[in-house]
Amino acid sequence: MKKILLILILIPIFSWGKPSKIDDYYYTSKAISSSLKISQKNNKPYAELSISNKSGCKGNVSGYLIKRSKKIFMFNKNDSDGTCQLEFTKIRRSYIVVENNCSDFHGSQCDFNMTVKK
């Protein structure tokens, strides 16, 4: 009994250092490059989204996702860096990203509205 208890206590200690699985999604064309990385941070889904375009616009935002349904995640950021709300809809091996008021994170020349594929 003591051995089983000791093993159950040590399992979380040794699993802290393991890297989280990361899912990468991309979209690239002649004018636009974007990426979405989804991983687990503190046992919660975490997203990193970036975009750049030919006209020089660059932007990125990252944070925890809130699961709304089996295929829909929400992202809300409201801090000293600015405000941003994103909806991520999973469709097969892709995500459709729809933004609301995220220009603090990318400027006026581009946006985070995109479809990214695995």
Examine the pLDDT at 46 and tell me if it is beyond 80: yes
> What's the predicted TM-score (pTM) here?
0.75
Query: What does the mean pLDDT of the chain come to?
Result: 81
**Order of strands, sheet of 58-64, starting from the edge strand that comes earlier in the sequence:** 58-64, 44-53, 32-41, 23-28, 114-117, 94-100, 82-91, 72-79, 66-67
Query: In this structure, what token pair is assigned to residue 104?
Result: 């603090």
Cα separation, 77 vs 61, in Å, equals 9
Mean pLDDT of 106-113: 87
Query: In this structure, what token pair is assigned to residue 71?
Result: 């295929």
Out of 17-26, 36-45, 57-66, 98-107, pick the least confident: 17-26
Mean pLDDT of 46-71: 91
Q: What is the pLDDT of residue 47?
A: 92
Of all residues in the chain, the percent with pLDDT exceeding 70 is 81
Please report which helix (H) or strand (E) contains residue 82, including its range: strand 82-91
Examine the pLDDT at 4 and tell me if it is beyond 80: no
Query: In this structure, what token pair is assigned to residue 45?
Result: 């889904």
**CA separation (Å) from 92 to 8, 29, 34, 84?**
37, 21, 19, 25
Query: In this structure, what token pair is assigned to residue 32?
Result: 């636009």
Q: Is 112 helix (H, G, I), strand (E, B) or coil?
A: coil
How many other CB atoms are there within 10 angstroms of residue 9's CB atom? 9
